[in-house]
Structure 1
């Protein structure tokens, strides 16, 4: 889930917007991945492993990038790990289509992101304690917000990961406004989350 933590270069867009036919194999694979289909393994393009250096593996009932994970400046719940790895695989399938000049439309990245959101929130609901579930849900909101902001900035094209301080000309100053907006958005979510957690804690003490 690299998009949650490694911001793209300021002003960077996603991969090339689709102008022709989408790659059918990649499109079928994405649909199977986000629907948790048992056919997902067989629908991964045959040359995917050669192009990306790994073969997808199963984890907790999901097909995932075994080398992926929840990269984040804050510690995310361990329950998110399989969802993050599945999200990483989904992004690599989008990159696969981009590499062979048959990129998928914005629906694909939206679907992969939505699956991540659904899975991490579902993972939180498996916790026994109400307060723990609420705290986990807040972390899920923060994680998904970071992913969603980055996808919107890249206009739902193929994911691009670049240095946020990258410059095309040494004389140019890096444009930090996109990063600033992202940070402000995450700060707002974090602040709201802190208020919610504090309210839940007070409620719990009151009725304990």
Structure 2
């Protein structure tokens, strides 16, 4: 995939392989230091892509295992930094977003996709939900 994984030793002495260029794509490293977990998750997804490129797609179990490891890494990080409810909530939201995306992609090989169709869809859904309420406010104001 164009890079060599880097071994990172955590405070508890455990060693994790990571993508040195990986990141927490939508939230950054966070004040809780989720970066190592995200870089390990990125490496896992790159391994899935590599296996597929070489003709040996691993199957849904592999993506589930990588996502499960990511969730465990985030929980462990929250415990390590004593991040409290804020850290746990962010870890849960992040884990849920990853799980949803993996489900949406059928637990297959991760694909890079444009974000804009999802943003437009979300804006349309919010507009459809909020539109009638906003329109009724304007109707009341104009009818006075």
TM-score, structure 1 length as denominator?
Answer: 0.52
Question: For residue 18 of structure 1, what is the aligned residue in structure 2?
Answer: none
Superimposed CA distance per residue, residues 19-64 of structure 1 (whole angstroms, 9 cap, x where no aligned partner): xxxxxxxxxxxxxxxxxxxxxxxxxxxxxxxxx1100011132100
The DSSP-based 3-state class of the residue aligned with 2:17 is strand
- Counterpart-to-counterpart distance in 2, 1:123 and 1:73: 15
Tell me how far apart the structure 2 counterparts of residues 136 and 116 of structure 1 sit (CA, whole Å).
14
CA contact (8 A) 1:76 1:139 kept: no
Structure 2: segments with no counterpart, 5+ residues:
10-14, 127-144
Residues 135, 164 of structure 1: alpha-carbon distance in 2 compared, 3 angstrom cutoff: closer
Quick check: which one's helix share is greater?
Answer: 2
User: Contact 2:28–2:35 (CA<8 Å) still a contact in 1?
Assistant: no
Alpha-carbon contact 1:164-1:179 (below 8 Å) kept: no
Shift of the alpha carbon at 1:85?
0.4
TM-score, length-normalised on structure 2?
A: 0.73
Q: Aligned Cα RMSD in Å?
A: 2.4
Deviation string, structure 1 residues 43-98 (Cα, Å, up to 9, x no partner): xxxxxxxxx11000111321000000112157734421111100000000000011
Contact 2:18 2:36 in 1 (8 A): yes
Q: What whole-Å deviation, never above 9, does each CA across 1:103-150 have from its counterpart, x for those lacking one? A: 11100000000000001011101234xxx3211000100111111111
Equivalenced residue count is: 119
Map residues 54-203 of structure 1 onto 2, 5 A cutoff: 54-60=3-9, 61-73=15-27, 76-128=30-82, 132-165=83-116, 176=118, 180=122
CA contact (8 A) 2:32 2:81 kept: no
Unaligned runs of 5+ in 1: 1-51, 166-173, 185-208
